Amino acid sequence: MPKPVIREEHRRRRRPTRSGAVLCDALFVDAALRLLREHGSAGLTARRLGLVLDCDPSALYRYFRGMDDLILAIGDRLIGQALDGWKPTGKWRADLRGVGLRIHAAYTAHPQAAQLTASRVSGRPNELAADEAVLDILRTAGFPSPDTVRIYHAFIDQTLAFAALDAASLALPQRSLRSDEDMWRSTYATLPASAYPRIAEAAPLLASRMTTSAYPTALEMLLDSVAARRAGLGGQEPG
């Protein structure tokens, strides 16, 4: 059985560690993000966290139920970074675009962490705030609840799916990443039109586009679909 988490007021160290830090949840998340950035998921262990924070590895379990609980907290941190400073404008399309781009950017800024967290559901405060914000944007725009949930589902899954896909590329070793990007120029651009007429025709555009994220384009396509649905409900466009 997982160990019970000790209440915040009872678990803080009375004295700082030798490095001068007083342990708290946020400090563990900071250290975990650093380990993921430097060593990948294999480097995220209680022992390494203890070394980074200058504490006994077992201290982790005074703040989290286990490593999986820490991973959920990391995911919530990324969403919190995405929402930091964001305020709704009252224009549904601009607001959805802004939230989507912010979430995608926050995850791809921490690709190793994104790979672990993009598919998870934490139920933590920042995740709840993001869900509430998206649902409120849609309801305020006039969508009935069934449409709101359907659009929310497509919006958040698309955002996180692209975040995970792009994060996986960014987490590759630089040599592998360059090799994949070069493939569009070294192989696709030289295919004979006799065998691959459509690839040959599109090769210059493929070489310029396929090394960047398709998320902004996919997001606009989704927003176009949402706008069409809203127009069908009698809403005034553009939003």
What CATH code is carried by the domain that includes residue 215? 1.10.357.10
| Tokens matching residue 56 | 């006994």
Query: Looking at the domain assignment, is residue 73 inside a domain?
Result: no
Do residues 149 and 205 both lie within one domain?
A: yes
Q: What is the 3-state secondary structure (H, E, C) of the chain?
A: CCCCCCCHHHHCCCCCCCCCCCCCHHHHHHHHHHHHHHHCHHHCCHHHHHHHHCCCHHHHHHCCCCHHHHHHHHHHHHHHHHHCCCCCCCCHHHHHHHHHHHHHHHHHCCHHHHHHHCCCCCCCHHHHHHHHHHHHHHHHCCCCHHHHHHHHHHHHHHHHHHHHHHHHHHCCCHHHHHHHHHHHHHCHHHCCCCCCHHHHHHHHHHHHHCCCCCHHHHHHHHHHHHHHHHHHCCCCCCC
Query: Looking at the domain assignment, is residue 30 inside a domain?
Result: yes
CA of residue 50 relative to chain centroid, distance = 26
CA distance 158 to 152: 10
Do residues 22 and 113 both lie within one domain?
A: no
Q: What total of structural domains would you count in the chain?
A: 2
| Tokens matching residue 178 | 């360059």
Note the pLDDT of residue 22: 86
Do residues 61 and 96 both lie within one domain?
A: no
Note the pLDDT of residue 239: 40
Per-residue pLDDT of the chain in tens (239 residues, 90 and over written 9):
455 555 555 555 555 666 667 899 999 999 999 999 999 999 999 999 999 999 999 999 999 999 999 999 999 999 999 999 999 999 999 999 999 999 999 999 999 999 999 999 999 999 999 999 999 999 999 999 999 999 999 999 999 999 999 999 999 898 998 998 899 888 998 999 999 999 999 999 998 899 899 999 999 999 999 999 999 888 655 44
Query: Looking at the domain assignment, is residue 77 inside a domain?
Result: no
Query: Looking at the domain assignment, is residue 83 inside a domain?
Result: no
* 20-27: long-range pairs with CB below 8 Å, 24+: 21/53, 21/54, 23/53, 23/55, 23/59, 23/62, 23/63, 24/63, 25/63, 25/64, 25/73, 27/53
